[in-house]
Amino acid sequence: MEYPEIPALVREILQRGRHLFLYTDGAMIRRRLHMIPPYTNFFWNVRLDGTEEVHDTRTERRGLFIEAFDGVRAAKNAGFFVVVTTTIYPDTDVNDLGVLYEVLHTLHVDGYLLSPYYPAEKLCRDGSARFREKMHQRFREVIARVGSYNLMTSPIYLEYLQGERELDCSAWGSPTYGPLGWSEPCSKQSVRYAKTYKELLEQVVWENYGRGLNPRCENCQCSEGFEPAALLGVNSKAGDFWKMLAWQFSGSLGERRNGLR
Tell me the per-residue pLDDT of 214-247, one tens digit each, with 9 for 90 and over: 888 999 999 999 999 998 888 888 888 888 888 8
Q: What share of the chain is helix, strand, coil (3-state, %, to 5)?
A: 45, 15, 40
Alpha carbon distances (Å) from 50 to 36, 92, 99, 110? 29, 8, 8, 17
Number of H helices, E strands in the chain: 10, 7
- Comparing 22-26, 50-54, 251-255, the range with the smallest average pLDDT is 251-255
Query: pTM of the prediction?
Result: 0.90
> How many Cα atoms sit within 13 Å of 17 on the Cβ side?
0
> Is residue 86, in this structure, part of any structural domain at all?
yes
Distance from C-alpha of 138 to C-alpha of 135, rounded to nearest angstrom = 5
Over 60: is that where the pLDDT of 52 sits? Answer: yes
Q: What is the mean pLDDT of residues 95-99?
A: 97
> Is residue 78, in this structure, part of any structural domain at all?
yes
Q: Which residues lie below 8 Å from residue 196, measured CB to CB, with a gap of 6+?
A: 182
> Is residue 122, in this structure, part of any structural domain at all?
no
Q: How high is the pLDDT of residue 259?
A: 44
CB 48 within 8 A of CB 55: yes
> How many Cα atoms sit within 13 Å of 232 on the Cβ side?
16
Residue 58's pLDDT band, with cuts at 50, 70 and 90, is very high
> Is residue 148, in this structure, part of any structural domain at all?
no
Q: How high is the pLDDT of residue 50?
A: 97
What CATH number did the domain enclosing 8 receive? 3.20.20.70
Look at residues 99, 100, 92 and name the one whose alpha carbon lies nearest to residue 134: 92
Most confident of the ranges 73-87, 120-134, 173-187? 73-87
Residue 258's pLDDT band, with cuts at 50, 70 and 90, is low
The chain-wide mean pLDDT, for the chain, equals 91
Residue 257's pLDDT band, with cuts at 50, 70 and 90, is low
Sheet architecture: strand order including 177-178: 177-178, 181-184, 192-194
Print the domain residue range for 30. Answer: 1-117
- Comparing 25-39, 124-138, 144-158, 228-242, the range with the smallest average pLDDT is 228-242
> Is residue 261, in this structure, part of any structural domain at all?
no
Q: What's the number of domains the chain is made of?
A: 1
Residue 261's pLDDT band, with cuts at 50, 70 and 90, is very low
Distance from C-alpha of 40 to C-alpha of 20, rounded to nearest angstrom = 10
Q: How high is the pLDDT of residue 74?
A: 96
Between 223 and 122, residue with greater pLDDT: 223
Q: What is the mean pLDDT of residues 129-144?
A: 96
> Is residue 108, in this structure, part of any structural domain at all?
yes
> Is residue 21, in this structure, part of any structural domain at all?
yes
Q: Which residues lie below 8 Å from residue 94, measured CB to CB, with a gap of 6+?
A: 138, 141, 142, 144, 145
Whether a cis peptide bond, with omega within 30° of 0, leads into 7 is no
Helix (H) or strand (E) holding 47: strand 42-47
Q: How high is the pLDDT of residue 237?
A: 86
Distance from C-alpha of 79 to C-alpha of 44, rounded to nearest angstrom = 11
Share of the chain above pLDDT 90, in %: 71
Between 245 and 257, residue with greater pLDDT: 245
> Is residue 180, in this structure, part of any structural domain at all?
no
